[in-house]
A and B are shown apart, each in its own frame.
Chain A
């Protein structure tokens, strides 16, 4: 069964600290993996997209890694800011159709305290 599991479910850190969010998936055949940031009450916003051949991709203070062999990805946030408080969603796409079916994780709820 194709699944996407994220951990931890929630995380609280102090402003300025770093953190790493995890995503494990069983989706096959794999096409790409995306990380989205979703502020409360808003729509998700894309942070990164990685294909099978990409190990690392950065977007400002956000760095995503992908290990396609172990089917794991991580999102590292450097020097956290209050505005980083949001839900971070891991989304994996398969190659089974033109649409590229998406499998969503439940997200990690990050709270940054001052």
Chain B
């Protein structure tokens, strides 16, 4: 079992609200990622981090922001949610080199109404 946790699992919010999706891992991994996945579609990288105080945007443009103040914590924030942000958000982490296993959280299903 991977020790990576996401909260909330499911969230329905109104347009214009600010939300933060939490992600924590207890494996001591330096690399952490946020992916966005629509039903039946592939995962798209929206943010990643190599370590504390390191954050980069991924391949898919996203209006969300991330922070990495502690190794184990990588929260994602939407300042003003819109219906187009409705999707599943998956947090992941990995240690060591590029060939190491990437562990995913259970995902956060966000619906913006």
Contacts and interface: CB of A to CB of B under 8 A. Distances in A.
User: What is the interface residue range for chain B against chain A?
Assistant: 20 to 34
Interface string A82-103: 0000000100010100111010
Contact of B42 (A43, A93, A95, A104): A104
Contacts, number: 55
B98 A46 contact: no
A46 B1 CA distance: 11
Interface residues of A, number: 25
A45 to B, nearest CB: 7
A38 to B, nearest CB: 8
Nearest to A100: B98
A57 to B, nearest CB: 13
Given A41-B109, A106-B41, A46 B103 contact: yes
B98 to A, nearest CB: 3
B106 A46 contact: no
B107 A107 contact: no
Given A31-B98, A98-B98, A100-B98, A44 B104 contact: yes
B34 interface: no
Contacts of B109: 41
Given A32-B98, A51-B99, A99 B107 contact: no
Interface string B25-54: 000000100000000111111001010000
B98 A41 contact: no
Given A43-B104, A44-B43, 10 more contacts: A31-B98, A32-B98, A32-B99, A43-B107, A89-B42, A95-B98, A102-B45, A104-B42, A105-B42, A107-B42
Interface of A: 4, 31-32, 34, 36, 41-46, 49, 51, 89, 93, 95, 98-100, 102, 104-107, 109
